[in-house]
Amino acid sequence: MPDLSINFAGIKSPNPFWLASAPPTNSGYQVMKAFDAGWGGAVWKTLGVPVVNVSSRYGSVNYRDKRMMGFNNIELISDRPLADNLREIEEVKKRFPNHAVIASLMVQSRQEWHDIVRQSQEAGADGIELNFGCPHGMCERGMGSAVGQEPDVLQTIVEWVMEVAKIPVIVKLTPNISDITEPAMAARRGGADAISLINTIQSIVGVDLDLFAPYPIVDGKGSNGGYCGPAVKPIALNMLKNCAQHPDVRLPISGIGGIETWRDAVEHILLGASSVQVCTAAMHYGFGIIREMTSGLEQYMTDKGFNTIYDFVGKALPNVLPWEDLNMKYKVTANIHEEKCIGCQLCYTACEDGAHQAIKLNAGTRVPEIIEANCVGCNLCSLVCPVEDCITMDRQDDGTAHLTWKERTEANDIPTEFNDEKAGGRHHWVPEPAAALGKEKHKTLPGKARQFEKITVTE
């Protein structure tokens, strides 16, 4: 049985799954319920001077029939008095001494930071997370992402915190910045014990077509909010990788962003996270999803022979390279497994219109055919194919040659002029532009157009 427990910068937790600082951690009731359900830790809804919220706070991005693929909110930090929150933190810690309770904090002055850090410690919090990420409402008041976007300010505040902190301090970073490693390094310089990322991305999730207002709508108006949910995972993973690979960051990272299943969590861990935080998925499905997450993680670790989380933290990092270090001699081409093909021809139209015209149709069959010579190995067909393993990308080179852009650059073997002979697509076949006209019009304009094409009506 693998050991799921972690020690994250000194914060111990029975498993790496923490609830992120957000509505699910608004009260002791919710956090106790979550721990009861199996969550390993919780970052409390951000404490500070209590706020006043608006009504209508969340917006969603749906994809076809799937709801909340993306999610945003315009809610602020905790609107409950600090004393109530601290009393409940204490109560939770008494009941769950081995679970991680982290106090998320956001205040302004040095004195306020000192006071709130001390009070959180006295309440029994296992750690502190500094909310330098909130991209709406609070940033306009000089807090949240306003801090996360100014590394010097961030460092100063971390230093204030470290003056009184006796428990581990995590700095939560905002993705609303061009290079996330800058604030990450500032956090390190300030003496923080760890970082967490990403906070939400400044967003408008949609516009109401009838009311001409952005979601969520407050009395006919809206405001930018913070974006999260499954859709943001790719952005989070990249920023996580940037911090995890940076030689000057070197801090434990709590991964946040689009984690809904054990797979998402494993991806974060493989790119360097040693704890993960979840919010949208819990808001969507409730705390019960933890059972699938721990079960999946456990099974994965068993299958891979990993005994602890640390056996695979950052295990994918060595395989994430700058583009210039990729092997240009590696060559794959698409292979359609005819017996699995259902004839939707999505690969054909995708390649024809969206890629390199490397798939053709033959009379008498709906199974498309790869034109090997034109296939650049882009993956598009295999990505649009609805049948599992129907289109595979098969290796064509023998694996012996290795040449990178960097090496070519050093060897002066790269195109440098506009019409350079070394242009990658120079000898790649492309159809004559005019060959597109009228091509398969009867297939791309089906229905009525097809049926009556033979009967031309001139009025």
Partner 1 sequence: MAEYPTPTSEQEFHANFAQLKPRMNSSEALFESSRCLFCFDAPCIQACPSGIDIPQFIRQINSGNDTGAARTIYEANYFGNACGKVCPTEVLCEGACVYNLQDVKPIEIGRLQSFATRKAIEEEKPLFTPGIPNGRKVAIIGAGPAGISCACELRALGYEVDVFEAKAQPSGLTVYGVAPYKITNEEVIAEMNYLQQQFGYSVTYNAPISSRADLQKLEEKYDAIFLGIGLGRTNALRLPGEERENCVGAVEFIEQLRMNHHATAVGRKVIVLGGGNTAMDAASESSRMGADSVILAYRRGKEDMGAYEFEYDLAKGVGVKGLFHVAPIEIVGNGKVEGVKFIRTALHEGQVQPVPGSEFIEPCDMVIKATGQAKQTQFLSLIPGLEVDGKGRIVADERTGQTTNPRYFTSGDARNGGAEVVNAAAEAKAAARGIHEYLKTRS
CA distances from 33 to 39, 172, 278 (A): 9, 24, 15
10 Å CB burial of residue 220 (0-12, 13-18, 19+) is exposed
CB of 56 closer than 8 Å to CB of 218: yes
Map the footprint of partner 1 across residues 330-359, applying CB under 8 A: 342-346, 348-349
In this complex, which beta carbon is closest to partner 1, that of residue 22 or of residue 355? 355
Map the footprint of partner 1 across residues 380-409, applying CB under 8 A: 386-387
In this complex, which beta carbon is closest to partner 1, that of residue 261 or of residue 345? 345
Per DSSP (E only), the strands in 3-80 are 6-8, 11-13, 17-19, 41-43, 58-63, 66-73
In this complex, which beta carbon is closest to partner 1, that of residue 142 or of residue 446? 446
Piece in contact with partner 1 (CB under 8 A), picked from 63-71, 80-88, 96-104, 134-142: 63-71
Backbone Cα Rg of the chain: 27
Please tell me whether residue 458 binds partner 1 under the rule CB under 8 A.
Answer: yes
134 in catalytic set:
yes
- The nearest distance, CB 366 to partner 1, in angstroms, is 7
Q: Name residue 197's beta-bridge partners.
A: 255
**Does the N-terminal peptide bond of residue 368 adopt cis geometry, omega within 30 degrees of 0?**
no
* Binding residue for partner 1, selected from 141, 221, 366, 422, defined by CB under 8 A: 366
φ, ψ (nearest 5 deg) of residue 457: -105, 115
SS3 (DSSP) at 168: coil
In this complex, which beta carbon is closest to partner 1, that of residue 388 or of residue 421? 388
* Binding residue for partner 1, selected from 1, 52, 64, 421, defined by CB under 8 A: 64
- The nearest distance, CB 433 to partner 1, in angstroms, is 21
SS3 (DSSP) at 277: strand
Place of tokens 């076949």: 429
Piece in contact with partner 1 (CB under 8 A), picked from 53-61, 125-133, 157-165, 444-452: 444-452
- The nearest distance, CB 437 to partner 1, in angstroms, is 18
User: Which two three-digit tokens encode residue 101?
Assistant: 């309770």
Which among 134, 228, 279, 375 is annotated as catalytic? 134
Please tell me whether residue 210 binds partner 1 under the rule CB under 8 A.
Answer: no
Piece in contact with partner 1 (CB under 8 A), picked from 59-67, 133-141, 170-178, 251-259: 59-67
- The nearest distance, CB 451 to partner 1, in angstroms, is 4
Please tell me whether residue 371 binds partner 1 under the rule CB under 8 A.
Answer: no
Residue 308 has what DSSP assignment? B
φ, ψ (nearest 5 deg) of residue 3: -95, 115
How many Cα atoms sit within 13 Å of 97 on the Cβ side? 1
In this complex, which beta carbon is closest to partner 1, that of residue 322 or of residue 343? 343
In this complex, which beta carbon is closest to partner 1, that of residue 305 or of residue 364? 364
Piece in contact with partner 1 (CB under 8 A), picked from 91-99, 292-300, 305-313, 439-447: 439-447
Please tell me whether residue 446 binds partner 1 under the rule CB under 8 A.
Answer: yes
* Burial readout 263-301 (b: 16 or more C-beta within 10 A, e: otherwise): ebbbbbbbbbbbbbbbbbbbbeeebebbeebbebbbebb
In this complex, which beta carbon is closest to partner 1, that of residue 291 or of residue 366? 366
- The nearest distance, CB 57 to partner 1, in angstroms, is 24
Place of tokens 């002029």: 417
> What does the CA dihedral 242, 45, 86, 104 come to, rounded to 10 degrees?
20
- The nearest distance, CB 337 to partner 1, in angstroms, is 13
* Binding residue for partner 1, selected from 1, 52, 55, 65, defined by CB under 8 A: 65
In this complex, which beta carbon is closest to partner 1, that of residue 8 or of residue 348? 348
CB of 11 closer than 8 Å to CB of 126: yes
- The nearest distance, CB 206 to partner 1, in angstroms, is 12
d(CA 55, CA 216): 9
How many Cα atoms sit within 13 Å of 147 on the Cβ side? 27
Torsion sign across C-alpha atoms 255, 258, 260, 263: negative
Piece in contact with partner 1 (CB under 8 A), picked from 64-72, 195-203, 235-243, 374-382: 64-72
Please tell me whether residue 452 binds partner 1 under the rule CB under 8 A.
Answer: yes
Q: Contact residues for partner 1 (CB under 8 A)?
A: 64-66, 342-346, 348-349, 366, 386-387, 440, 443-444, 446-448, 450-452, 454-455, 457-458
Residues annotated as catalytic are 134
